[in-house]
């Protein structure tokens, strides 16, 4: 896999990392398109990067839900320029057994992550209802449909409780994307 672009916050080419951030990342080609990879090892709980973008009231295929009717979209100017420096997070792929989770706008390691490992998170832990549902290809499940938290049964929600976004766990989130 060739490294397409490196995002290195320590050299000012990406948004500043939160205190304690530890990891440079790179966008690389993967079987399904592109993915975000750790260039440095990260310990469980470590802050890896901070998401940056525009918060809009509607979801898209490339947004991340950060609140009730709040969806973080990559900056339009960064997308037009093909930049990965400001919005490399858009290359984070889904996994049913992810190595990261979103703590607000901070991507954190769920477990120790090795240098060279692809960074993934469970989209069902941020999205109430996916704008573009898809069949999972992570390899750790049976190809389940990824549709969002609203479509997960009680057992699935219980398994995700520790890493589900607060806007999904609150009783007021029901039915509101």
User: In a 10 Å sphere around its CB, with 0-12 CB exposed, 13-18 middle and 19+ buried, how is residue 168 labelled?
Assistant: buried
- Using CA atoms, how far apart are residues 100 and 110, in angstroms rounded to an integer? 5
Q: CA nearest 51: which of 1, 126, 117, 115?
A: 126
Tens-digit pLDDT profile for residues 125-139: 999 999 999 999 988
Q: What is the pLDDT of residue 149?
A: 96
- Using CA atoms, how far apart are residues 118 and 82, in angstroms rounded to an integer? 21
Q: pTM of the predicted model, to two decimals?
A: 0.85
Q: What is the pLDDT of residue 77?
A: 76
Alpha carbons within 13 A on the beta-carbon side of 160? 29
Please identify every stretch of the chain with a pLDDT value under 50, giving residue numbers as ranges: 1-5, 7-15, 175
Q: What is the pLDDT of residue 18?
A: 52
Element (H, E) at 168: helix 166-169
Q: What is the pLDDT of residue 68?
A: 93
Q: Which CATH superfamily is domain 3-168 in?
A: SET domain (2.170.270.10)
What ranges do the domains of the chain cover? 3-168
Q: CA nearest 133: which of 155, 152, 156?
A: 152
Q: What is the pLDDT of residue 32?
A: 82
Q: What is the pLDDT of residue 22?
A: 72
Q: What is the pLDDT of residue 15?
A: 46
Which residue(s) pair with 109 in the sheet? 100
């Amino acid at each position: 896999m060739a490294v397409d672009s490196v995002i290195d916050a320590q050299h000012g080419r990406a948004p500043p990392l939160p205190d304690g951030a530890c990891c440079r990342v790179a966008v690389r080609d993967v079987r399904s398109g592109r993915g975000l990879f750790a260039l440095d090892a990260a310990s469980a709980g470590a802050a890896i990067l901070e998401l940056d973008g525009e918060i809009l009231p509607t979801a898209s295929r490339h947004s991340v839900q950060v609140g009730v009717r709040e969806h973080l979209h990559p900056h339009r100017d960064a997308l037009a320029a093909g930049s990965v420096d400001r919005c490399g997070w858009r290359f984070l792929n889904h996994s049913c057994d992810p190595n990261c989770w979103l703590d607000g706008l901070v991507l954190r390691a769920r477990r120790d992550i090795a240098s060279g490992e692809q960074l993934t998170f469970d989209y069902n832990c941020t999205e109430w209802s996916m704008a573009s549902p898809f069949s999972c290809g992570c390899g750790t499940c049976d190809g389940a449909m990824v549709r969002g938290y609203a479509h997960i049964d009680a057992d699935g929600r219980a398994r995700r409780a520790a890493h589900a976004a607060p806007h999904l766990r609150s009783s007021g989130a029901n039915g509101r994307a």
